[in-house]
């Protein structure tokens, strides 16, 4: 679809929601700052081919309405971010934009001429692209200043995601384990079981990674070697999942009594990349996902505090 056809389509499709000869009007205010119809129309242009694909006029109008509503949400958020940036002294200079463009060009191994050709192919003028990039950089600076501190991904969370990925791809988890058991007799009463639980809790408080090996044989336990999840009853196997290497579990009730596990090491089966090989990739994925969640929460907080009027 040519740019002329898209522009013509925009006028036709907006005829029912706003007269085609209306050059400008306000479609929203954000803390008394206006968002204009012209801004909304400009943002809509890349999506008009999907609107035009609708089989009926009714469906086209419905698609356009949904598109405008969604784009207006984005424009309102951008206005909130600009206001926050202005009030906080957060600025993006022409030099910042120049550096960002240069970095993008180098990352894609493009000459300046090739980069310009790519912009032309996407329908961007240099001025339009710089304006759009500046808007993105302002958002990035605001989010880094106000949201980044809310995001924390721990080593334990990354390892848990690694092992989840391994299980999803059919790789078996293995655990090198020692244990001790506080036995509970068959048919023990509730009072007797409670007394044994307290005994196990007291014992657990006295165990450390340094003394576990020496005390385990004295307490009727010892080294269980390498186990997979299926080697233990389900309730005991679950107790190993949250442990890191070198940690001791809380007492876990099993058929014969209360078990306390010392996890010496854990690994996934052969044929799956090591944790060290995947750690950075998983960390970035988890950080990106956490940032998106926190950005949405932050924007929702800003919207609730703002005075927003929609007039679309």
The predicted-structure confidence for 83-106, as pLDDT tens digits, reads as follows: 999 999 999 999 999 999 999 999
Please give the radius of gyration of the chain, using alpha carbons only, rounded to the nearest integer.
Answer: 30
Cβ–Cβ < 8 Å for 251, 197: yes
Q: What per-residue string of b and e applies to 88-124 under the rule 16 or more CB within 10 Å gives b?
A: eebebeeeebeebbeeebeeeeeeeeebbeeeeeeeb
Better-predicted residue by pLDDT, 124 or 216: 216
Q: At what angle do helices 37-44 and 57-88 cross, to 10 degrees?
A: 120
Domains of the chain and any CATH numbers: 3-150+297-310 (1.10.4030.10), 172-268 (3.10.50.40)
8: pLDDT strictly greater than 60: no
The predicted-structure confidence for 45-87, as pLDDT tens digits, reads as follows: 888 888 988 899 999 999 999 999 999 999 999 999 999 999 9
The predicted-structure confidence for 201-218, as pLDDT tens digits, reads as follows: 999 999 999 999 889 988
């Amino acid at each position: 679809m040519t740019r002329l056809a898209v522009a013509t389509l925009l006028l036709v499709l907006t005829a029912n929601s706003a007269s085609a000869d209306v050059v400008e009007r306000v479609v929203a205010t954000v803390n008394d700052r206006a968002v204009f119809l012209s801004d909304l129309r400009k943002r809509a242009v890349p999506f008009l081919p999907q609107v035009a694909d609708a089989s009926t006029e009714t469906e086209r109008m419905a698609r356009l309405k949904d598109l405008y509503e969604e784009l207006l949400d984005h424009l309102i958020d951008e206005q909130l971010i600009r206001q926050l940036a202005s009030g906080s002294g957060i600025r993006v200079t022409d030099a910042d934009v120049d550096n960002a463009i240069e970095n993008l060009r180098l990352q894609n191994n493009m000459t300046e001429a090739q980069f310009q050709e790519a912009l032309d192919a996407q329908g961007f003028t240099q001025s339009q692209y710089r304006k759009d990039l500046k808007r993105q950089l302002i958002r990035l600076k605001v989010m880094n200043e106000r949201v980044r501190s809310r995001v924390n991904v721990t080593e334990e969370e990354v390892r848990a995601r690694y092992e989840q990925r391994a299980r999803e791809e059919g790789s078996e988890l293995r655990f090198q384990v020692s244990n001790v058991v506080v036995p509970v007799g068959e048919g023990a009463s509730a009072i007797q079981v409670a007394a044994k639980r307290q005994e196990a809790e007291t014992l657990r408080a006295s165990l450390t990674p340094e003394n576990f090996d020496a005390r385990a044989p004295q307490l009727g336990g010892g080294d269980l070697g390498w186990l997979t999840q299926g080697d233990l009853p389900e309730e005991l196997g679950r107790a190993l999942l949250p442990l890191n290497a070198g940690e001791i579990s809380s007492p876990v009730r099993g058929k014969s009594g209360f078990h306390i596990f010392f996890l010496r090491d854990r690994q996934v089966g052969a044929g799956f990349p090591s944790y060290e090989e995947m750690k950075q990739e998983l960390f970035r994925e988890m950080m990106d996902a956490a940032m998106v969640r926190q950005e949405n929460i932050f924007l929702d907080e800003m919207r609730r505090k703002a005075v927003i009027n929609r007039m679309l």
